[in-house]
């Protein structure tokens, strides 16, 4: 009888369980964001497929013409803006997964949606600052036509980077690659984009061989160093989020 009473008392009081560690695949917010990205990509491809194909053809063939943005419709521009937002959000999820491995204290002290919002805002700010920097540098050193072509080419890479990142981010969220694999694949994506950017720089701004050295200096200043500063800045921000909590 006493044993029965003790068992009933134990059931009523409950037993302390082992807390389950956070994983993005069980986060409803991350899943909703990925579903929205899927439907957004499907919507844009169904309505602006020809326009997106024209952008990539112009990037690869290097046609000398006025910017395609001047002939695009309002619907095209809205779709391109949505693709830019999608790319920034996917980059934010990727950063979130990386820092979840390197700094697990962040998810303990802050919600996942807050961290995603912070990383998304940083990515958007970075893109806007890059567009402004290209416009300013181009206005000083190059002619307006080439600057417009370069901004269009850079934007084209942003749109297609979102399409390329989506399956990779999806696999990372639901299958959780090891950190070395995650970093390696991320660096491959980054390196491939930088190679395409440098190819376009050579086509647009390097008419003679002696300008290659100067072009490499500009490229390092505008394309390589900002990523180093951005990553270092996010690391400092993560430390501030942990300390101030």
Contact indicator for 79, 44 with CB cutoff of 8 Å: yes
- DSSP-derived letter for residue 211 is G
Contact indicator for 223, 197 with CB cutoff of 8 Å: yes
Q: What is the pLDDT of residue 51?
A: 83
Q: What is the pLDDT of residue 86?
A: 93
Please tell me the distance from the alpha carbon of residue 25 to that of residue 112, in angstroms, as a whole number. 12
E strands, 91-138, where?
none
Q: What is the pLDDT of residue 19?
A: 52
- DSSP-derived letter for residue 222 is I
Count of CA atoms in the C-beta half-sphere (13 A) of 218? 18
Q: What is the pLDDT of residue 138?
A: 66
CA 243 to chain centre: 26
Q: What is the pLDDT of residue 17?
A: 45
Q: What is the pLDDT along the chain (245 residues), one digit of tens a residue?
A: 555 455 445 445 544 444 557 788 888 889 999 999 999 998 888 888 888 888 888 887 765 555 555 556 666 778 888 889 999 999 999 999 998 888 888 888 888 899 999 999 999 999 998 888 877 776 666 667 777 787 888 888 888 999 999 999 999 999 888 888 988 998 899 888 888 888 887 777 665 545 566 666 666 767 777 788 888 888 888 888 887 66
Could you state, in order of their start, the residue ranges of all structural domains in the chain? 25-243
Q: What is the pLDDT of residue 8?
A: 46
Contact indicator for 189, 87 with CB cutoff of 8 Å: no
Query: Taking phi first (over 0 means left), then psi (-120 to 50 degrees means alpha), and beta for anything else, what does residue 60 get?
Result: alpha
């Amino acid at each position: 009888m006493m044993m029965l009473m003790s068992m009933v008392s134990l059931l009523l009081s409950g037993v302390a369980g082992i807390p389950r560690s956070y994983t993005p695949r069980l986060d409803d917010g991350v899943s909703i964001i990925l579903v929205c990205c899927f439907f957004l990509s499907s919507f844009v491809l169904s309505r602006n497929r020809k326009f997106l194909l024209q952008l990539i053809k112009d990037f690869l063939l290097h046609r000398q013409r006025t910017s395609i943005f001047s002939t695009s419709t309002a619907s095209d521009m809205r779709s391109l803006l949505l693709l830019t937002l999608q790319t920034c959000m996917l980059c934010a999820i990727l950063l979130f997964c990386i820092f979840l491995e390197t700094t697990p204290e962040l998810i303990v002290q802050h919600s996942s949606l807050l961290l995603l919002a912070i990383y998304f805002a940083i990515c958007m700010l970075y893109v806007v600052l890059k567009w402004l920097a290209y416009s300013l540098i181009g206005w000083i050193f190059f002619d307006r036509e080439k600057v417009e072509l370069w901004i269009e080419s850079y934007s084209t890479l942003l749109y297609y980077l979102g399409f390329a990142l989506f399956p990779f981010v999806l696999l990372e969220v639901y299958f959780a690659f090891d950190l070395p694999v995650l970093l390696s694949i991320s660096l491959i994506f980054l390196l491939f984009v930088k190679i395409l950017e440098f190819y376009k720089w050579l086509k647009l701004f390097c008419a003679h061989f002696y300008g290659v050295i100067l072009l490499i200096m500009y490229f390092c200043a505008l394309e390589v160093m900002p990523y180093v500063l951005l990553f270092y800045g996010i690391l400092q921000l993560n430390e501030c989020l942990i300390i101030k909590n």
